[in-house]
Copies of this chain bind each other. A is one copy, B any other.
């Protein structure tokens, strides 16, 4: 496994020069009355440097061993790989659990940008480990937004600190994407609690001994529930029932039936859970569990997209390190017998640049969304909050699906750079591929994300979400006109944006006539959208460099060079996607189902 070097300076440069995060955050009211005011970047620097030391020093060394050892179920108890329990204790002790959580519940109240960058580092260093706090945060979001004050007081401080972990129990054998089919029952008891009975599968971190309690958020049906998705409720089911002092007390009636044997994320226990009359409490209104679940899911979907980003960064670093060391052949046209590092070969550069074209702009885009989340939560103007929320809603499926697809592609490219060594376990690159693969599947497959974008998100308020986003990008392109050299970056972006706008209008029109058009377009449409969004960030990065004097520093030169590569060699894919989308659903629906 190659050493992990947290890209802290790049992260800070993006926040400062590309996203103007300092002024943007300083303009918002503080998260709590005693919150710090002014430029948060110096604090962020300290936090990120510390996070980088934790990820590189504590998590990365456990990544290969965690993959080899995996999790085990022993007499009903889940055992995590060696070192994970200690690493998780260090995570809790370091206060990483509540980084961007509300101070009210013990969080540190830092901007979500800090959380996203910590998530990226954890995904780069140890993808499996990052899932434990990742799921916990989803539970926190749902409880904070939807649970009673009593439940909040009882559970949030422990979950925010990370002393207790969270789990999301949605899927059942017959109910995955289609949650309307779920059967787990929740029966009201005289004391106001619920009795939960049923079986769930694919429950990430459903059980382990790293935390003193695990709080499951379980989707279930109340006795009077209408059928389908309108009859689903969200129930909080802790592994240990808190006693009067709030400490873990009696064991709840739930158990792990089995651990799944998986392609990757071996250090993350994927549990088959049985709830045998387990005690729980309703979160949110009866039958409104889906709304509460989407609070979790949206947080998780961004997190999963960031996992794709993190794995791409790890693949890039591993591949570059190898490409500098490994000597085979010589650059075209060079004389002499001595072999040169394979980094000289253009096809190796192509693979590395393709990864970096994603990680560079992907990180910027994720941070842009994190800033909008901050505005959505804290901006004093309701209209500004709503607009920010619209951008987050629009980009959430794009980040989940495109970042995990590109993250997987990046892992495959990074592995390819190592040739045969990339296929051998000890080098660690094939683990990145196996781990990355799950992110395209869980928290809603990428096909489901594409449907969310092309269906739901395009139709909100008659297309207001994409219209506002396109207007924003277009305004930036126009505003860049005064910067010398900007045209090389903004002209290809403007052309791609035009294609995306045309494709959006066409899809909206066609879908009104034939609903199958949405599904037939969804995946290609999402990729087209992602290309434009990434191209927008590359244009921003190039502009920031140009305004800072062009290629005056290595970082600014790199932004310009990779931006050019993206525009020249990757963004043309937007033309092909637009052409394919223009053909519509008919060529995809022609083959009769019996002929598959």
Residues of chain A at the chain B interface (Cβ within 8 Å): 171, 174-178, 180-181, 201-202, 227-228, 260-264, 320, 323-324, 327-329, 331-333, 337, 339, 343-353, 356, 408, 412, 415-416, 419-420, 422-426, 430, 433-434, 437-438, 440-442, 445-447, 450-451, 514-516, 518-520, 522-524, 554, 557-558, 561-562, 564-565, 567-570, 572-577, 579-580, 583, 585, 587-596
Contact = CB atoms under 8 A, between A and B. Distances in A.
Residue of A522, A562, A579 ringed by the most chain B CB atoms within 10 A: A579
B262 A424 contact: yes
Contact of A587 (B261, B568, B587): B568
29 contacts: A176-B419, A178-B328, A180-B339, A201-B420, A202-B420, A227-B337, A262-B423, A332-B515, A332-B518, A333-B514, A333-B515, A333-B516, A343-B596, A345-B519, A346-B518, A346-B520, A347-B450, A347-B523, A352-B596, A419-B441, A422-B441, A423-B441, A554-B595, A558-B591, A561-B590, A562-B591, A565-B587, A568-B587, A569-B587
The 6 closest A-B pairs by CB, nearest first: A346-B519, A332-B515, A576-B576, A572-B579, A178-B328, A263-B430
Contacts of A594: 554
A447 B349 CA distance: 11
Contacts of A344: 593
Contacts of A520: 346-347, 349-350
A596 B320 CA distance: 7
A438 to B, nearest CB: 5
B587 A564 contact: yes
Nearest to A264: B423
A328 B296 CA distance: 22
Contact of A181 (B339, B348, B575): B339
A228 B353 CA distance: 31
Contacts of A339: 178, 180-181
B576 A588 contact: no
Contacts of A554: 594-595
A514 B577 CA distance: 31
Contacts of A420: 171, 176, 201-202, 441-442
Residue of A332, A430, A577 ringed by the most chain B CB atoms within 10 A: A332
B579 A348 contact: no
- Quickly give the copy total for this chain: 2
B588 A446 contact: no
B433 A437 contact: yes
A269 B426 CA distance: 16
B261 A425 contact: yes
Contacts of A416: 440-441, 445-447
A523 B350 contact: yes
A558 B515 CA distance: 24
A419 B570 CA distance: 28
Contact of A580 (B445, B522, B564, B568): B568
A574 B345 CA distance: 24
A424 B561 CA distance: 41
A440 to B, nearest CB: 7
Contacts of A346: 516, 518-520, 522, 585, 588-589
A177 B590 contact: no
A263 B447 CA distance: 26
A3 to B, nearest CB: 16
B580 A332 contact: no
A538 to B, nearest CB: 12
Contacts of A445: 416, 419
A531 to B, nearest CB: 10
Residue of A171, A227, A261, A420 ringed by the most chain B CB atoms within 10 A: A420
Contacts of A515: 332-333
A426 B523 contact: no
Nearest to A352: B596
Contacts of A353: 588, 591
Contacts of A320: 596
A272 to B, nearest CB: 11
A339 B178 CA distance: 8
Nearest to A178: B328
A262 B569 contact: no
B261 A426 contact: yes
A569 B558 contact: no
A343 B177 CA distance: 14
Contacts of A438: 423
B447 A348 contact: yes
A356 B329 CA distance: 38
A119 to B, nearest CB: 21
B565 A177 contact: no
A595 B558 contact: yes
B595 A557 contact: yes
Given A337-B227, A437-B423, A516 B332 contact: yes
Nearest to A565: B587
Nearest to A201: B420
Contacts of A176: 328, 419-420
Given A176-B419, A228-B337, A569-B580, 8 more contacts: A177-B419, A263-B425, A332-B516, A332-B518, A345-B519, A346-B516, A349-B591, A570-B580
